[in-house]
Amino acid sequence: MKIVLFDVKSYDKKHFEAANKEFGYEITYYEPALNVHTAVMAKGSDVVCPFVNCTVDKEVIDILKECGVKLIAMRSAGFNNVDYNYALKNGIPVVRVPAYSPYAVAEHSFALLLALVRKLTHAYVRTREFNFSLSGLVGMDLHEKTIGIVGTGKIGRVAINIAKGFGMKVLAYDPYPADIAGVEFTDLDTLLRESDVVTLYCPLTKDNYHMINANTLEDMKNTVLLINTSRGALIDSEALLEALKEKKIGGAALDVYEEEAGIFYTDQSDEGIKDDVLARLISMPNVIITSHQGYLTEEALRAISQTTLKNIKDFEDGKELVNQVK
Ligand code: NAI
């Protein structure tokens, strides 16, 4: 099997090289993301491995088919960037890595929350300049505050356990509510209205695009802290920026951004960024943005490479594709 990885960084290559010792595949690593301009680079490959900011739409799938690609093996859990029905119609199944480390993402969301609530980014910059003043650094206890968990799948459940460790009251919303000790399931409106912290752990689907928008932001507490480590387009960024400017919410920490493709994972420090909404969000004192790094732990990278290659091996062997996106 000839495999081509798109949107590759040095840490991806390191882990795929290690995992491939067991499989011995011919792997080519490309830095550019997969899109309509780069798809032709897959020529002669059996499998393409895209990542979260690749575009795998109809046009790209047509090119991949012409190039002889037989399998799309996503290196991610999310698959909102792939037209998997169209791919399958064209005889190209799509597989993914449904679980690699829910701990990585859940822990990162709490790293963001703690940094936001205790103003760690400001404190860090101050002490580096030998400014030991505490003015403006007053935070808030998480203990006994209400956290609203949106999506109680693998990552959401890890987050629930972490929140319980802080002594928080846990409200949850999921279209498929589960029986989880110490968690009160409610509707989304109630969760948004009553929570001191709202944190998103659900996939992006056509039904929940901009689930956090001008209307829902209006209903939330004006001190609420909003955390998003799931997918950027769950939040209407322009509405979020307006709410922050009007002090309708207390702050936001985002690991994902709806227009992140082409910006996140790249160094733009020489040029600045053209996205005014993102630039303005970054400028707000009560906003923290990380560059879609929730998954980025050694454990998760190891699991991603191993599961991706195992998915490919199952395909090669004609076995059932247990991780197929359907
Ligand atoms: P999962 O499939 O285990 O759980 C998702 C849960 O969300 C399910 O319980 C589902 O019923 C629920 N859900 C679906 N639609 C919903 C809606 N409209 N409102 C509320 N809940 C809804 O997925 P997992 O592993 O927990 O991952 C969640 C998401 O996290 C992924 O879809 C992906 O977008 C994101 N993610 C982000 C990463 C990062 O690096 N920042 C890394 C990995 C995943």
Q: What confidence category does residue 280 fall into, taking pLDDT thresholds of 50, 70 and 90? A: very high
Residue carrying the six token digits 């956090």:
212
Q: What confidence category does residue 49 fall into, taking pLDDT thresholds of 50, 70 and 90? A: very high
**What single DSSP character describes residue 233?**
G
Residue carrying the six token digits 């307006």:
242
Q: What is the CATH number of the domain that holds 303?
A: 3.40.50.720
Would 322 be classed as within a structural domain? no
31 and 176 part of one domain: no
Would 321 be classed as within a structural domain? no
Residue with CA closest to ligand 1 atom 18: 208
The binding-site residues of ligand 1, defined as CB within 6 angstroms of any ligand atom, are: 77-78, 99, 102, 105, 150-156, 173-176, 201-205, 208, 229-231, 255-256, 292, 294-295
Residue with CA closest to ligand 1 atom 14: 202
Residue with CA closest to ligand 1 atom 16: 202
| Euclidean distance between CA atoms 267 and 251, whole angstroms | 25
Cβ 4 vs Cβ 313: under 8 Å: no
Which atom from ligand 1 is nearest to the alpha carbon of 255? Answer: 41
Task: Supply the Cα-derived Rg of the chain in whole angstroms.
Answer: 21
Any catalytic annotation for residue 231? yes
Q: How confident is the model at residue 285, as a pLDDT? A: 96
Would 43 be classed as within a structural domain? yes
CA of 153 to the centre of ligand 1 (A): 6
Considering 75, 157, 231, 258, which one is annotated as catalytic? 231
CA distances to 56, 103, 117, 118, 150 from 308, rounded to whole Å, are 17, 19, 37, 38, 28
Q: How confident is the model at residue 130, as a pLDDT? A: 98
Q: How confident is the model at residue 275, as a pLDDT? A: 97
CA of 198 to the centre of ligand 1 (A): 14
Would 108 be classed as within a structural domain? yes
Any catalytic annotation for residue 260? yes
89 and 107 part of one domain: no
93 and 219 part of one domain: no
Best residue for ligand 1 mutational test, from 171, 174, 179, 202 (most atoms within 8 Å of Cβ): 202
pLDDT digits (tens, 9 = 90+) for 256-277: 999 999 999 999 999 999 999 9
Residue with CA closest to ligand 1 atom 4: 153
User: Reduced to 3 states, what is the DSSP secondary structure of residue 284?
Assistant: coil
Task: Work out how many domains the chain is built from and give that number.
Answer: 2
Would 326 be classed as within a structural domain? no
Would 246 be classed as within a structural domain? yes
Considering 75, 96, 108, 292, which one is annotated as catalytic? 292
96 and 106 part of one domain: no
Would 96 be classed as within a structural domain? yes
CA of 1 to the centre of ligand 1 (A): 31
Instruction: Please state the rounded mean pLDDT for residues 191-199.
Output: 98
Any catalytic annotation for residue 292? yes
Would 127 be classed as within a structural domain? yes
61 and 185 part of one domain: no
Instruction: Please state the rounded mean pLDDT for residues 68-96.
Output: 97
279 and 218 part of one domain: yes
208 and 137 part of one domain: yes
| Euclidean distance between CA atoms 309 and 128, whole angstroms | 44
Question: How far is the first Cα of the chain from the last one, in angstroms, to the nearest whole number?
Answer: 23
Considering 15, 96, 108, 260, which one is annotated as catalytic? 260
Best residue for ligand 1 mutational test, from 52, 96, 101, 155 (most atoms within 8 Å of Cβ): 155
32 and 120 part of one domain: no
Residue carrying the six token digits 């409106």:
189
Q: How confident is the model at residue 182, as a pLDDT? A: 96
pLDDT digits (tens, 9 = 90+) for 281-305: 999 999 999 999 999 999 999 999 9
Which atom from ligand 1 is nearest to the alpha carbon of 173? Answer: 20
The DSSP H or E segment spanning 87 is helix 84-89
Question: In 186-245, at which residue ranges do the beta strands (DSSP E only) sit?
Answer: 197-200, 225-228
The size of the chain, in residues, is 326
The values of phi and psi at residue 312, to 5°, are -70, -40
178 and 249 part of one domain: yes
Instruction: Please state the rounded mean pLDDT for residues 93-112.
Output: 97
User: Reduced to 3 states, what is the DSSP secondary structure of residue 90?
Assistant: coil
**What single DSSP character describes residue 213?**
-
The DSSP H or E segment spanning 147 is strand 146-150
Q: How confident is the model at residue 85, as a pLDDT? A: 97
Q: How confident is the model at residue 264, as a pLDDT? A: 94
202 and 260 part of one domain: yes
| Euclidean distance between CA atoms 144 and 146, whole angstroms | 7
187 and 230 part of one domain: yes
For strands 169-173 and 146-150, give the pairing.
parallel
147 and 257 part of one domain: yes
Whole-prediction pTM: 0.93
The two three-digit tokens of residue 106, written as one number: 């859940």
Q: What is the residue range of 94's domain? A: 2-100+297-316
Q: What confidence category does residue 157 fall into, taking pLDDT thresholds of 50, 70 and 90? A: very high
Q: What confidence category does residue 110 fall into, taking pLDDT thresholds of 50, 70 and 90? A: very high
Residue carrying the six token digits 């010792």:
21
The two three-digit tokens of residue 27, written as one number: 């792997």
